[in-house]
Each structure stands twice: as C-alpha cells, then as structure tokens.
Amino acid sequence: MKLTSIFIAASILAFTGSCQQKNTQETIKEETNLMIKSEQVAEHQGQAVYRYVLDNGTMQVELSNFGGLITKIITPDKDGNKENVTLTFDTTEEYLTKSNPFFGATAGRVANRIAAGKFTLDGNTYQLATNDGANHLHGGNEGFNKKVWKGEPYSNDSVVGVKMEYLSPDGEEGYPGNLQTTLWMELTDSNTLRIRFESETDQQTILNLTNHTYFNLSGVKADVQDHVFKFWADAYTPVDKGLIPTGEIKDVTGTPFDFRTPKVLGEQIAANEGGFDHNLVMKTEQSDEMKHFAQVKHPESGRVMDMYSDNVGVQFYTGNFLSDFEGADGKTYQKHWGFCLESQVWPDAINHENFPSPILNPGEKYEHLIEYRFSVEQ
C-alpha cells in the first residue's frame, strides 16, 4: 500500500508483471477463453445487486457489487477437477439476509481492530462502534461489506473484471471525511485474481482496506489443517486477549509464527494453542514494492496459491471462531475450515506511533494492490 500525490500516475502494472511464478509450479492451463457474465439477482435499499462471473476457461471467480464480495473461486485440482475453494453461501441473495463472518467481503473503512473504537486525529477524538467486544472491527456495524457499490464490468485481451465505486460520506460509521473509493477485481488469463483499491478524501481520515475471503484449497471438504504454509515474514505483532496489538514487533524465530520454511498448519495451530488471528510483518514502511507474502499448498489436491501485495502486513486468520455454520452445498463449516490472508496496514495502527500510519490526507491517493495466483503441482 502506498500514498501518493493525486497528480502522480501509479505504475502498478509495471511491477506486477515482473513477479513470476517459480519454475517448480505449472500454470493450470495455457489456453484461456476470457468471458464475463452479469445478472441482477436482488435489490437492497432500492439499489440493484448484481452477480458477476469472471471466466478465463480454466478458473471462475464470482463477485457481487453488494459488499464488494468474492462469493466463489472455482479452480481445478491436479486431475482437472474444478471445485469452489472459498467459504460462501449458495446464492448472492443470502448475503443480504444471513449474517456471516465477513465471507469474501471488502472490509473498510478500517479493516481489523481499533482498540475501544477510539482514535485521535488532528486534535479531534473520534468514537466508533464497538462491534467486537470492547473494540471496533472491520469498519463498524455497517462497513463497506454491507454497501451496494456501483459496478461496471470490463475486459481486454488478458483480463476480465468489475470496477466498483463507493462514496462513503463524512461521518459514516463515525469516520471523518467524504471518502471516494474505487475497487477493481479482475481475473487474468494466467489464473491470477487481482484486487486493486484507490481512495481519496476531502478531510484527514484513516483508511485500511482489504479483502476477507476464507480459502480452503481442498474444495471445502474438511478443515485446512493439512495445508502447508510459507510466509515471507521475519516478525509479527503480538496481541492481548482482545486481539489488540501490544505495540511490540517481535521476531518470529523460535515461535509458532515462523513460517519462513513451509509448515503444516495443524502442527503450528497446536503449538499456538488454538489458531492464528495475527498480523505478520511484511514491511516496516509503506512502499510500492510488490512482495511475495505467502504460499499455500494443499498436497492432496495439488492446488497452490501464492499471494503478493504492496502493503505492509497480512492478517493471518485460521477460522478460529467458526462453529456449526451452515454454508454452501449443504456443508457445515467448523473451526479451522477456512483461512484468511488479509493484506493490510497493521491493526490499531492509529493508536501506535511505531506502526506504519493509516492516515490519508486530502491531496493524497491511497493505493493498494493484492494478487492471489493459482496453480497446481502434481
């Protein structure tokens, strides 16, 4: 994630194109047939809700302009069997009527937690909703995940996608400033799901946008403890009992957070007494460097997912609070049935001077790019 003058053009495509998959992995299929389908499936508060299907001939990604949602990601395994690899509902319409733990959601204005829902900015103290115990979580009672975005499908020779826009008015959920956000979600012909955010404000505010998809590379057949994880992170931010960072930046060496060599998730969950809901440190300062954050493999299916981002951290969450949740295809999601990799500014950063800043000023542009690259290994 980076903040730049609104007069400076972003060179996003230049550095994303330079990040290539390792030779040990094969792209799932070389030939693609890019298509996009759009259909209205519901209305919410007088606004049309659409379901979009992005298809490159090998993968399918389903989206909605309600909440900037990713509702499904369908990918083949090593034998060519295509299955959904996200926790979800059967229909987009169910997101309008059923509560869920941010499945596939765009989280904002500020993703993750703010201690006591309180922060001070430019001499003013703001009190936000405390919707996660004593703390503020993922933008409040009606964050970006519950808004209808203005959607516009697009395509070219190498991608199909949807451009979505949302204007968050001054004071919404207690945040200052009118915030204009544009979100691009696209599928490339090389099996990459790319998510890009841009935002501008007319008043100093705080911002931390991310996507909150729960992945399960088995095809959602069981929990994810058999998945193998690697993170390019040398440090993490410890938390208190309310999952608020203490302010410490701790080396991962000798801890369950050391995934610098591939680790089976179940073994690390056992070592960490129940799971992960922590920020892993990818950078200590904001920059436009596109960094390899994580690689996840599911040995049985052969599916591989590599995550890249230009942000400073990633919230690694292992579905610790899932329990008897009725999801899609008649499946009941239990604890650790999904994992989230949420590219982000560090949690509660506004209340820690030693953390990278989440402040966005008028005349600046917030830019944030995430890529999930899918492949298979035999």
pLDDT, the chain, mean: 93
DSSP character string of 237-288: E-B-TTS-B-S--EE-TTSTT--SS-EEHHHHHHHTTS--EEEEES-SS---
6: left (phi over 0), alpha (psi -120 to 50) or beta: alpha
pLDDT surpassing 70 at residue 21: no
Q: Where are the domains of the chain?
A: 2-18+34-376
pLDDT surpassing 50 at residue 18: no
pLDDT in tens, 299-325: 999 999 999 999 999 999 999 999 999
In sequence order, what E strands does 67-130 have? Answer: 69-76, 82-84, 105-107, 113-114, 118-121, 124-127
User: For 86, which DSSP code?
Assistant: B
2-18+34-376 architecture in CATH?
A: Distorted Sandwich (2.70)
User: For 202, which DSSP code?
Assistant: S
pLDDT in tens, 50-89: 999 999 999 999 999 999 999 999 999 999 999 999 999 9
Model pTM above 0.85: yes
198 carries an active-site annotation: no
Between CA 288 and CA 273 the distance in angstroms is 35
Catalytic one among 136, 138, 212, 352? 212
More confident residue, 19 or 45: 45
212 carries an active-site annotation: yes
Longest CA–CA span in the chain (Å) reads 59
User: For 12, which DSSP code?
Assistant: H
Catalytic one among 83, 173, 200, 342? 342
